[in-house]
Amino acid sequence: MLKRRLEHPGTRGAIFRRTFSLVKENHIDKYLQEYPFLQEFYHVGDSEIRFPNGSVIAFRYADTQGAVDAHIGKEYMDIIVDQGEAFNEHEHLTLSSCCRWPGVDETACKYVVTFNPGNVGHKYLQRIFFDKKYR
């Protein structure tokens, strides 16, 4: 995500987890620890790293379907859903609909899902990534 924001000035990327404590512990804290220079660009109130080139890494969480739906209409060039098995099919489709950026070929946008077996998203992720059965 960091590399993509630096390579694509003026773009936004988002990293999603189910709860804020997870996104903070697994992503915000790690970014700031591994890249201390990012601390001057981190905006605590918005949970975003805002770069001088106009790019943003937004750290987001969505603990309910309503929280996922609150992102409808937003635009991110890249989205990473960490622990994607915690999100159901409808939630993935909603988040992936936000993975677009004006003036950029849609193939340049990336929707990345990391996941383990189990939980509510298991059957959907298995169908898409292993069985390759799309609707």
pLDDT tens, residue by residue, 90-101: 999 999 999 999
Q: The whole model's pTM is what? A: 0.90
pLDDT at 106: 78
Closest CA to 49 of 68, 35, 63, 67: 35
Task: Report whether 89 contacts 57 (CB < 8 A).
Answer: no
Q: How confident is the model at residue 124 (pLDDT cuts 50, 70, 90)?
A: confident
Query: How much is the pLDDT for 65?
Result: 93
Measured CA to CA, the distance from residue 26 to residue 12 in angstroms comes to 19
CA dihedral 46, 52, 54, 55 (to 10 degrees): -70
Res. 118: pLDDT tops 90: no
Query: What span, in angstroms and rounded, lies between the C-alpha atoms of 42 and 51?
Result: 9
Residue 81: predicted pLDDT: 96
